[in-house]
A and B are shown apart, each in its own frame.
Chain A
Amino acid sequence: MRETVEAALDAARVAGASYADARIVDTTDESVSVSNGRVEGVESSVSAGVGVRVLLEGAWGFASTADTSRSGVDDCARRATDIARASGLVPGNPVHLAELTPVIDTWHGPCQKDPFDVSIEDKLGVLLAADEYLRAEAAVKITKSKLGFQKVRKWFGSTEGSYIEQEYVESGGGIVAYAIKDGEVLPRSYPNSHGGQWVQGGWESIESLDLVGNAPRIAEEAAALLAAQSCPIGEVDLIIDATQLALQVHESIGHPTELDRVLGDETAFAGTSFLTLEDLGVLRYGSDHVSVTADATVPGSLGSFGYDDEGVPAQRDYLIRNGLFSGFLTSRESALAMNRTSNGCMRADGWNRMPLIRMTTVSLEPGEWSFDDLVADTDEGLYVETNNSWSIDDRRLNFQFACEIGWEIKGGKIGRMVKNPNYTGITPRFWNACDAVCSRDHWSVSGVPNCGKGEPMQVAHVAHGASPARFRGIRTGVGR
Chain B
Amino acid sequence: MRPDPAQARALAERAVETTSADQAEALVMMGSTALTRFAGNRIHQNVAEDNAGIAIRAVVGTRTGVAATNHLDVDGVRDCSTAAVRAAMAAPQDPDFPGLPNPEPITELERRSAATAGFSAEERATAVRAIVDQSASRGLVAAGTVSVSEQAFAIANSNGISAAMPTTFARATVLSTGPDGGTGWASFSDRDVSALAPAALGDEAATLAERSANPGELEPGAYSVVLAPEAVADIVNFLAYAGFSAKAVEEGRSFMSGRLGEKLVSEAISITDDALAAETIGLTFDFEGVPKRVVNLIENGVAVSPVTDSYWSARTGSPNTGHALPAPNSYGPMPLNLEMAPGEETIDGLVAQVDMGVYVTRFHYVNIDEPVPVLLTGMTRDGTFLIENGRLTRPLKSLRFTQSAIAALRDVGGVTRDRKLLGQDAGATHVPGLLLRSFEFTGQTD
Contacts and interface: CB of A to CB of B under 8 A. Distances in A.
Given A44-B83, A268-B143, A389 B377 contact: yes
B46 A86 contact: yes
A94 B253 CA distance: 53
B79 to A, nearest CB: 8
Given A44-B67, A90-B132, A267-B39, A183 B50 contact: no
Interface string B28-68: 00000111111111111111111111010000000111111
A479 B440 contact: yes
Given A64-B47, A120-B90, A394 B364 contact: yes
Given A48-B71, A90-B38, A265 B253 contact: no
A206 interface: no
A68 to B, nearest CB: 10
A426 to B, nearest CB: 6
A400 B442 CA distance: 10
A71 to B, nearest CB: 12
B446 A141 contact: no
A357 B129 CA distance: 26
A19 interface: no
B187 to A, nearest CB: 10
A41 B328 contact: yes
Given A38-B94, A354-B45, A398 B446 contact: yes
Interface string A51-86: 000000001111111110000000000011011111
B330 A185 contact: no
B394 interface: no
A84 B125 CA distance: 10
A45 B91 contact: no
Contacts of A268: 39, 143-145, 173-175
A351 B175 CA distance: 29
A392 B402 contact: no
A395 B37 CA distance: 20
A424 B69 contact: no
Interface string B365-379: 111111111010111
A280 B50 CA distance: 41
B87 A91 contact: no
A39 B91 contact: yes
B320 interface: no
Among B36, B48, B68, B122: residue with most chain A CB under 10 A:
B48
Interface residues of B, number: 92
B365 A33 contact: no
A91 to B, nearest CB: 6
B128 interface: yes
A82 to B, nearest CB: 6
A412 interface: no
Interface in B77-101: 80, 83, 86-88, 90-92, 94, 96
B90 A420 contact: no
B71 A46 contact: yes
A91 B121 contact: no
Contacts of B177: 267
Nearest to B84: A44
B38 A38 contact: no
A478 B330 contact: no
Given A92-B44, A267-B177, A389-B369, A44 B68 contact: yes
Best-surrounded residue of A142, A264, A390 (most CB of chain B within 10 A): A264
B interface majority secondary structure = strand
Contacts of B64: 42
Contacts of B378: 391
A89 B126 contact: yes
Nearest to B126: A89
Contact of B372 (A40, A142, A185, A422): A185
A207 interface: no
A221 to B, nearest CB: 18
A184 interface: yes
Contact of A35 (B49, B175, B330, B379): B330
B51 A352 contact: yes
A162 interface: no
Nearest to B381: A394
Interface in A399-427: 400, 402, 420, 422, 424, 426
A479 B442 CA distance: 7
Nearest to A356: B45
Interface in A158-186: 178, 180, 183-185
Interface centre among A87, A121, A353, by most chain B C-beta atoms within 10 angstroms, is A87
B214 interface: no
A86 B45 contact: no
B51 A65 contact: yes
Interface in B386-401: 398, 400
A90 B442 contact: no
A144 interface: yes
B121 A398 contact: no
13 contacts: A35-B330, A45-B68, A64-B51, A82-B121, A83-B48, A89-B126, A119-B90, A267-B143, A397-B446, A400-B402, A455-B145, A456-B33, A479-B442
Interface of B: 1, 33-53, 55, 63-71, 80, 83, 86-88, 90-92, 94, 96, 120-122, 124-126, 128-129, 132, 141, 143-145, 147, 173-175, 177, 251-253, 327-330, 364-373, 375, 377-379, 381, 398, 400, 402-403, 440, 442-446
Given A67-B1, A264-B141, 14 more contacts: A33-B330, A44-B83, A45-B55, A62-B48, A80-B48, A82-B121, A89-B128, A90-B128, A120-B90, A142-B253, A267-B177, A354-B47, A389-B368, A391-B367
